[in-house]
Amino acid sequence: MLRTALRNVLAHTARLVMTALAVLLGVAFVSGTLVFGDTVASAFRGAYSESLDGVAVSVSAEHRSGDPLPESGERATVLDDALAERIARVPGVASVRPTVNGHATLAAEDGEPVGADANGQNLAVNHAPGGDGEDPRYPLVRGRGPGASNEIALAADTAERAGYEIGDPVRFATDGPALTKELVGLVSTDDPRVTAGGTLALFDTATAQRLFVSPGYYDEIVVAAEPGTDQERLTGAVGEVLPEEGASATSGRELATRQTRMLDQMSGSLTKALLVFAGIALFVGAFIIANTFTMLIAQRSKEIALLRAVGASRRQVVRSVLAEAALLGLGASAAGFVLGLGIAAALPALLDAGGARLPDGPLVISPKALLASLTVGVVVTVLAAWLPARKAARIAPVEVMSTIDTPPPARGLVTRNLLGGVLAGLGLLIMGYLAAGELLIALFGAGLFLVGLIVLAPLLSRPVVGLAGRLTERFFGVIGKLAKENALRNPRRTAATASALMIGLCLITGLTVAAQSARQAVIGEVTKGLAADYRVSDSAYNGIEADAAERLAAVPGVSVATPLASATLGGPGGSDTVTGADPAAFGRVSDLRFTSGALADLGPGRVAVSDTYAEEHGLTLGSTVERRLGASYDGEGGEPVTLEVVGVYEHNQIVSGLLAGIGQVLPHADGEKLDSVLVKAEPGAGGLDGKLREALGDSPLLKVQDKEQIVAQEVGGVNTVLTMMYGLLGMSVLIAVLGVVNTLAMSVFERTREIGMLRAIGLDRAGVKQMVRLESVVICLFGAVLGTGSGAFLAWLNSGLAGGTLASYETVLPWGRIGLFLVLALVVGVLAAIWPARRAARLNMLEAINAP
């Protein structure tokens, strides 16, 4: 029987090509994901390992939120030169490297900020040369290190991105106005934060201390050990000379362990997310496998009956079919693993082109990835062939093979329909009543509903395909009617073929509807209450100077500039944020809608609250709020205040849940700085963004946005995620297309005699092609209608999950895109039929009539 299975695989190679391709693509997705995840994790580990090379102990300053700051606002630490000298005298210490760490955002040569939206990766450190004049952590590429307060060095890649050459003036900002220094050198770095898209600027130690801490102080002291010194013992010895508070010592080995744990978690999350889509692709491929083996079993009924007649048992028949599936799965999986290596090798370059900038590293091919890929491919193929194998075992030795076009018994379809109805109903019940805002439960319910719909697909095929068939019959006459009848003669096969396409389009449509609805809700939330033309803020969230509104108001073309500040209200019930604004000016740049009270009622000791905040805290007009203004987030400190509620306004994103006068809030704001300034332009005055930047010193940290830019910033992430999802789900759609091609090709083989008879009574080659093409279009339209309809329905049914975070969320049906999906289904149907239609048209009429 094993030899029979091998012979069947070799004898029906052409009929199994599309099935093998489906398995191959699914396994390629899996193997590419696993290898890519291992490769990225290895590259980051290598980069972090190089950055920790020579670090035996790291002494870091402990910054506490409640620590008082000097009047200058600079940070003070316990790490100073005296402590560095004490650490250097510890036995086993080879050298110490005091380090200052900060962030600096550069302005490129054209004036645009470099990496302003990723300020956490815009690193700034001190240049600490050794005896040879070079900093071993940042080797020089060209020029020299900064040695004076007016000099700066950059990473070579950073300088290239910004368009700077040695000798150019470099503009940058740390937490205030723009500064300018001369570029004197370029360095190389293996810091993953920089190689992954950040920037690096270096200053002499004294300048770095003035910019980021206090003169004479550091953020970190890196300790190098003498050869043969145990890191753990050295860490303990260094810890003994540290002050009791304000500093901690960590071994280099422990730092590496922490980083490895963090990287494994990050890469593991990415790999799991990608494997979900790989699983979807394999699930779609399972329909093709099951369809193929069902058709092969029907075509080989006489052969199987003869095997039973000469002594083969039912179990042997099942094993033979499953062995055939295992051989097919193993071969396709091996090829898929090789293709997956190519995908894994190409992904970093594609992501780098999109701005990801992953660190370089060799391709990591682990035995685990190989074993998992082959196992998944074989198991999926065997499981998909299990039901056809059982059907083959039920063929009696004396059974005469009946035509494959005979519809399945009504009892089987009745049982299937009942099962599908129960699954779909249970899925709806879970989504509608049991999910209660739980995403995972809702997704489980949606999956159950989708499985029920797949089971019900044969029942649904008759009305949907019949309706599409009426159109083909009306426009294409007899050929259209033949196409409809061919699609309806075996509802199970048609349903299985269409279901593969339905799954992909269901997910794509559901994501599109949810994303479009979320996008409209975000736009509504962002623009609600905003009447200003510009918003000026700090990209590093350091705040802007208190006089910024006055300076902006003096810009020609500006009608009004209103400052906004925020402070913390601490108390027994937790901490809240109160926004401060000038009531008179704020009314001109906002459209705040009050349900009771008015904006003009604000004043000392008075506060307005949003309707959602009032409902949560049981507040009404005249209620009082007793809190500590300016308290820390743990409720400590601050000034005790009693605020009277004088107004209730509709919730919006312009201000927080509480609104008070700017004069009361600003003294308690962080650094007494503003959060932002809202600017209203005079009628006809446009293009003020450049003038607004200049009025505030044109710092690279400044973010000047008009309404369109504010909306683009908020919804940009939604569009990016949707595009990525389209790409990931595209693999499942491609596999579904292969399923349509496979079904049509095998259907043509089954109907060889029928096609010969049609040719004999006058149907020409063009008519045969059109018949097969229309059949393909009808099947694809059936899958598209089910997919888009179920996707939109599921998105609507689960809209409550998004509505919990977006108050204005309403389901929006993007009719244009849904129509585009249906058109694409038509195109897919036409393209999928090209090869089967050509094959059918080329059949020799006489040979076809005499076919067995």
Q: Is the pLDDT of residue 464 over 80?
A: yes
Distance (Å, whole) CA 694 – CA 789? 53
- The pLDDT of residue 204 is 94
Candidate from 50-54, 324-328, 345-349, 363-367 with smallest mean pLDDT: 50-54
> Which of 552, 700, 818, 831 has the alpha carbon at shortest distance from 118?
700
Nearest-Å Rg of the Cα atoms of the chain is 35
Candidate from 162-176, 213-227, 544-558, 743-757 with smallest mean pLDDT: 743-757
Confidence band, pLDDT 50/70/90 cuts, at residue 2: low
Distance (Å, whole) CA 700 – CA 108? 9
Distance (Å, whole) CA 247 – CA 149? 28
Q: Find the mean pLDDT for residues 436-463.
A: 84
DSSP 755: H
User: For residues 76 and 307, is the Cβ–Cβ distance under 8 A?
Assistant: no
Q: Is the pLDDT of residue 335 over 80?
A: yes
Q: Is the pLDDT of residue 84 over 80?
A: yes
The shares of helix, strand and coil residues in the chain, as percent rounded to the nearest 5, are 55, 15, 25
Q: Find the mean pLDDT for residues 339-368.
A: 79
pLDDT of 629-638, one tens digit each?
887 766 567 7
Q: Find the mean pLDDT for residues 479-484.
A: 89
pLDDT of 650-659, one tens digit each?
888 788 889 9
Please give the mean pLDDT across all residues of the chain: 84
Check residues 713 and 804 and name the one with the higher pLDDT: 713
Confidence band, pLDDT 50/70/90 cuts, at residue 73: very low
Q: Is the pLDDT of residue 771 over 80?
A: yes
Confidence band, pLDDT 50/70/90 cuts, at residue 71: very low
Highest mean pLDDT (candidates 21-30, 35-44, 681-690): 21-30
Check residues 163 and 53 and name the one with the higher pLDDT: 163
**Could you tell me what percent of the chain has a pLDDT over 90?**
28
- The pLDDT of residue 500 is 87
Residues 6+ apart with CB under 8 A from 312: 1, 320
- The pLDDT of residue 152 is 96
Confidence band, pLDDT 50/70/90 cuts, at residue 355: low
Q: Is the pLDDT of residue 676 over 70?
A: yes
Residue 143: beta bridge partners? 185
Q: Does residue 63 sit in helix, strand or coil? A: coil
- The pLDDT of residue 309 is 80
Q: Is the pLDDT of residue 205 over 90?
A: yes
DSSP 433: I
> Which of 120, 116, 99 has the alpha carbon at shortest distance from 108?
116
Q: Is the pLDDT of residue 829 over 50?
A: yes
Tokens 């490769």 belong to residue: 39
Q: Find the mean pLDDT for residues 382-391.
A: 89
* Crossing angle between the packed helical segments 301-309 and 314-353, to the nearest 10 degrees: 140
Q: Is the pLDDT of residue 67 over 60?
A: no
Distance (Å, whole) CA 560 – CA 533? 10
Give this prediction's pTM. 0.75
- The pLDDT of residue 186 is 95
Q: Is the pLDDT of residue 114 over 80?
A: yes
Check residues 776 and 685 and name the one with the higher pLDDT: 776
Using CB atoms within 10 Å of the CB of residue 405, give its burial: 0 to 12 exposed, 13 to 18 middle, 19+ buried: middle
Q: Does residue 654 sit in helix, strand or coil? A: coil
The H or E element spanning position 593 is none
- The pLDDT of residue 422 is 92
The DSSP-derived string for 396-419 is: -TTPPPPPTTSPPPHHHHHHHHHH
Q: Is the pLDDT of residue 437 over 70?
A: no
The H or E element spanning position 622 is none
- The pLDDT of residue 805 is 57
Q: Find the mean pLDDT for residues 124-152.
A: 88
Check residues 515 and 176 and name the one with the higher pLDDT: 515
Q: Is the pLDDT of residue 25 over 60?
A: yes
